[in-house]
Amino acid sequence: MTASLGSAVDRYLGYLRVERRYSASTLDNYARALTKLVAHADRLGLQHWSDLRSAQLQSLLAELHRGGLAPASLGLFLSSCRSFFRFLARDGEVKVNPAVGVRSPKIPRKLPKVLDADEMGALLEFPTDDAEAVHDRAMLELLYSSGLRVAEIVSIRWRDLDTGEGMLRVTGKGSKTRIVPVGRQALHALDALRVQDRGGDDDLILRGRNGRPLSTNGVRTRLKRRARDQGVWKRVYPHLLRHSCASHLLESSGDLRAVQELLGHADIGTTQIYTHLDFQYLAKVYDAAHPRAKKKS
């Protein structure tokens, strides 16, 4: 590998880690993408990143596509390249971003799955007759009430919760902080958990055995077990509760911007997928109920 190619990648990954404070998993994704890019540049015999042309990058994308890389992964690869070359342009190492104008295969947009209100009620209404149930009720209520990501809920501490105002400070992707509301039922469940655990302000709200931090896999395992015990036979996972929260809020309020703020989406286009979900539901109701839409038996 040409030294100048590799050193530029190392500097960029250092910038993402230190200045942008990206998570380890996100850094790994960027590193894997740029490793593919460097290997391609080496095969082409390039000495500097300014020598790479858009057509050469497009040929790599086509090669990865033929190799079976999914459209979503190709999109992430291309996004990583664009961001990398923007970084180089800022430092004057390239004049033109070769990734601009390069197109990846269109990603079919899947509508998120959700639980309806009855299914959510069945999932959440389990007796809190032991310490683990008290903990899990608080965990599930908070996931659904505030639309949290699983990585967010395992990192919140009691000092982040304002029970008087019913608000929670959350640190999300890119270390961005947002304030989200906490519903009445979730506050009741959290009050019961704090009385039980006697947690201090600096303690994590969710903890596993022996007071150890609860992992994201621990959240998934507990949620799956509760769903099974409650007779909810759909595949239930933490992000499903986030999707359900967003869909139910949008269905009731129609306020897309408010849902965007709650979820911490940087781009409102990400939030708009829930409007498509709402229209899909409306279409199903229409087909089932409208006299001129019903299929003849």
Q: Is 207 a catalytic residue?
A: no
Q: Is 274 a catalytic residue?
A: yes
- Calpha distance 96→129 (Å, rounded): 64
Determine contact, residues 50/41, Cβ cutoff 8 Å. Answer: no
Q: What is residue 282's predicted lDDT score, i.e. its pLDDT? A: 46
Q: What is residue 291's predicted lDDT score, i.e. its pLDDT? A: 56
Active-site residue (options: 40, 135, 137, 149): 149
- Calpha distance 289→293 (Å, rounded): 7
Structural domains of the chain, ranges and CATH numbers in brackets: 3-90 (1.10.150.130), 117-287 (1.10.443.10)
Active-site residue (options: 36, 207, 239, 281): 239
* Among 71, 205, 228, residue whose Cα is nearest residue 134: 205
HEC string of the chain equals CCHHHHHHHHHHHHHHHHCCCCCHHHHHHHHHHHHHHHHHHHHHCCCCHHHCCHHHHHHHHHHHHHCCCCHHHHHHHHHHHHHHHHHHHHCCCCCCCCCCCCCCCCCCCCCCCCCCHHHHHHHHCCCCCCHHHHHHHHHHHHHHHHCCCHHHHCCCEHHHEECCCCEEEEECHHHCEEEEECCHHHHHHHHHHHHHHCCCCCCECCECHHHCECCHHHHHHHHHHHHHHCCCCCCCCHHHHHHHHHHHHHHHHCCHHHHHHHHCCCCHHHHCHHHHHHHHHHHHHHHHHCCCCCCCC
Q: What is residue 31's predicted lDDT score, i.e. its pLDDT? A: 95
* Among 43, 47, 84, residue whose Cα is nearest residue 63: 43
pTM score, whole prediction: 0.62
**Which positions ≥6 away from 248 have C-beta within 8 Å?**
114, 117, 120
Q: Is 188 a catalytic residue?
A: no
Over its length of 297 residues, how does the chain's per-residue pLDDT go in tens digits? 566 788 999 999 999 999 888 888 889 999 999 999 999 999 999 999 999 999 999 999 999 999 988 888 898 999 999 999 999 999 899 999 999 988 877 766 676 788 888 899 999 999 999 999 999 999 999 999 888 999 999 999 999 999 998 899 998 887 888 888 888 899 999 999 999 988 889 999 999 877 889 999 999 999 999 999 999 988 999 999 988 888 887 776 666 676 677 777 666 666 666 666 555 554 554 456 545 455 555
Q: Is 239 a catalytic residue?
A: yes
Active-site residue (options: 113, 157, 173, 178): 173
Active-site residue (options: 194, 242, 243, 248): 242
Q: Is 222 a catalytic residue?
A: no
- Calpha distance 231→267 (Å, rounded): 36
Q: Is 173 a catalytic residue?
A: yes
Count the neighbouring beta carbons within 10 Å of the beta carbon of residue 265. Answer: 17
- Calpha distance 131→118 (Å, rounded): 26
Query: What's the one-letter identity of residue 292?
Result: R
